[in-house]
A and B are shown apart, each in its own frame.
Chain A
Amino acid sequence: MKKAWFSALALALIYGCASTPPAETAPAPATPGQTLPAPPPVGVKPLAPSAVQTDPLKDPNSGLAKRSIFYDLDKYDVKDEYRPLLQAHGKYLAEHRSSKMLIQGNCDERGSREYNIALGQRRSEGVKRMLVLMGATESQVEPVSLGEEKPRCSEHTEGCWSENRRSDMLYGGEY
């Protein structure tokens, strides 16, 4: 059960967050305040229209839907193109002080496994530092490394390697 949920999440991450901009899937229109169907006529109190707020973390239209940052070989600096994304997450964390985030740094499969743990940590650490600059607090964000141990893509090609050089931002409840 938990596993299925996790795979679903993984899929959501893959399709929702690839940095090579994926064709934005048509979002399911958020419909707060939709009128409910006519209530049954007898003895039931009509409900007030519910004001359900869509969770921006789950809204594919939101700037928060993307959760991944990609890197060049051997590098851990966050490229400029990811600044707006980090800004959006930093702002969200600033506005939701009870939210926690785990950042997982990943590497491609080449080179020393232990060096890749350190490199992945450097990647997640860099993301954390930017999020803190953009409003998050230190205690909200834990950077960890998965090194080359949990590749998203398992082919031994440059295409896969570039997808695996990545930091993922996961909110509490998502890991």
Chain B
Amino acid sequence: MRKSATLLAALLLFANAARAQLTIEIIGGGANQIPVAVLPFVGETALPQSITEIVEQDLTRSGRFRAIFVGGVNPLPADPAQVNFADWKSRLADAMVIGQAQRLPDGRFEVRFRLLDVPKQVQIGGVAFTLTASQVRLTAHKIADFIYEKLTGERGVFSTRIAYVVKQGARYELRVADADGQNAQSILISQEPIMSPAWSPDGTRMAYVSFQNKKPILFVQNLSASKQPAPVANYRGSNSAPAWSPDGKQLAAVLTRDGTSQIYLMGTDGGNLRRLSFSATIDTEPFFTPDGQSIYFTSDRGGSPQIYRMAVSGGEPTRITFDGDYNVSPRVSPDGKTLAYISRINGRFQLMAMDLESRQIQALTDGQRDESPTFAPNGRIILYASDIDNRGVLAAVSSDGRFKQRLGIQAADIREPSWGPFMGN
């Protein structure tokens, strides 16, 4: 909690809170959605904003839940003993959320909630939070994470953060926002392009590529620092495509200091440079496997851009993709089982998922220009860049391809998403 407060304070130093918020539009429907009733908390109006509204939006937006109508309940229950379970059973709710909120003498707030199993008429769990007025959103996301985990068995990602680049006219901004796109803050503003943001595994730093010196240069910015960092890699030619090792101690990146684009390993300050790939062709877009032992990357060594894997310890790369003549941007799921990438099929760029064991491939999108996939830390959702009417938007698809949503900003181009890690509580 203290960490996120520090982060927020640091971000506010940039004094350029992103004004235009992302709006979210849900496109497809998910299957097997759990019907859940999120009742307004007793005394909730004391809070600066409705906490249960955010909880309900988080849950439905995940595609895993369906919100049950909760109107006409009077008085609102704050305790399981006050719940008319028969009524909620007839409304077809499988689970329900009740709670209460109150202002504390020191000006902070207390919020307690309980998650109930309606058919069994028992409490599944409950938590009490003490929070300041500025922490309502974060608390709502944490409540949604709790519910998500209890009911699906997987960790929720509602309290994680995303980064993305917004282009408005000639102005580029690197922004960090809540996973639902709200609460966005600029961490870098430039008149030159910004690309390839990548979160450190602990969520405290961001690697990115900036063109502020008229060519691609690699930076690592501490999110709690208020000043522009020194470059991490600024060699002859281009410096780009950063990827963090899972232990956060190393970066893989693409440099051209020795000729064509090749993959190098370096410390997070740019020290201890070691060349990893040795080809006379393009090798780019490195991405570590979760065990840190291998790197997936894009190479045109076979005559067209395809995805390969190589061991970090060296050795001959193995080719992974064979269909078509343009397969790029490999990203491995957090469990290491799925490879998401972009494939050009009949001139359209689509998001694909490959089961790495069976090598079975599934097209997850049918867009024209889908790019830059990034897995949610629980692996259930893939965020990517897409476009509508030639304007860049972010889109998300569940990793089974069933549930889709779109995040856009009016009159701005939005691109280069990167989903941050789970943060400690």
Contact = CB atoms under 8 A, between A and B. Distances in A.
A82 interface: no
B135 interface: no
Contact of B261 (A104, A112, A122): A122
- Interface band, chain B: 35 or more
Contacts of B58: none
A149 to B, nearest CB: 4
A109 B187 CA distance: 25
B390 interface: yes
Nearest to B194: A149
A121 B304 contact: no
Contact of B237 (A74, A111, A143, A175): A143
B215 A115 contact: no
A125 B215 contact: no
A115 B238 CA distance: 12
A31 B378 CA distance: 72
B216 A115 contact: no
A115 B193 CA distance: 16
Nearest to A105: B238
Nearest to A128: B237
B328 A111 contact: yes
Could you tell me the dominant secondary structure of chain B's interface residues? Answer: strand
B414 interface: no
Interface stretch (B137-145, B225-233, B252-260, B352-360): B252-260
A31 B132 CA distance: 76
Nearest to B281: A122
B321 interface: no
Q: Identify which of B195, B209, B215 gathers the most chain A CB atoms within 10 Å of its CB.
A: B215
Contacts of B285: 112, 114-115
A109 B368 CA distance: 12
B326 A149 contact: no
Given A118-B282, A121-B260, A146-B211, A111 B344 contact: yes
B319 interface: no
Interface in B324-379: 326, 328-329, 342, 344, 349, 369, 371-372
A139 to B, nearest CB: 10
Interface in B312-329: 326, 328-329
Nearest to B369: A110
Contact of A117 (B214, B216, B349): B216
Given A113-B195, A122-B260, A125-B256, A175 B238 contact: no
Given A111-B326, A111-B349, A149-B211, A117 B238 contact: yes
A150 interface: yes
Given A118-B284, A144-B215, A175-B214, A113 B236 contact: no
Interface in A109-152: 109-115, 117-122, 124-125, 142-147, 149-150
A156 interface: yes
Contact of A125 (B193, B195, B241, B259): B259
A118 B239 CA distance: 10
Contacts of A144: 214-216, 237-238
Interface in A58-105: 74, 102, 104
Nearest to B372: A113
Contacts of A110: 349, 369
Contact of B216 (A102, A143, A145, A156): A145
Contacts of B209: 117
Interface string B169-194: 00000000000000000000000010
Contacts of B415: 113
B305 interface: yes
Q: Tell me which of A118, A124, A142 has the highest count of chain B C-beta atoms within 10 A of its own C-beta.
A: A118
Scoring A114, A119, A121, A145 by chain B CB atoms within 10 A of each residue's CB, the highest score goes to A114
Contact of A142 (B236, B261, B329): B236
A93 to B, nearest CB: 17
Contacts of B372: 112-113
Contacts of A121: 237-238, 256, 260-261
B298 A115 contact: yes
B215 A114 contact: no
Contacts of B371: 111-113
B56 interface: no
Interface in B275-296: 282-285
Contacts of B193: 149-150
A12 to B, nearest CB: 18
B154 to A, nearest CB: 30
B329 A125 contact: no
Given A112-B371, A117-B240, A118-B254, 20 more contacts: A74-B326, A104-B215, A110-B369, A111-B344, A111-B371, A114-B254, A114-B328, A115-B329, A117-B209, A117-B216, A117-B241, A121-B260, A125-B256, A144-B214, A144-B215, A144-B237, A144-B238, A145-B215, A146-B211, A149-B193
14 contacts: A74-B304, A102-B214, A111-B326, A114-B195, A114-B196, A114-B241, A114-B285, A115-B284, A117-B284, A118-B238, A118-B261, A121-B261, A143-B237, A149-B195
The list of the 3 closest CB pairs from A to B, nearest first, reads A118-B261, A149-B193, A144-B215
Interface of B: 193, 195-196, 209, 211, 214-216, 236-238, 240-241, 254, 256, 259-261, 282-285, 298, 304-305, 326, 328-329, 342, 344, 349, 369, 371-372, 390, 415-416
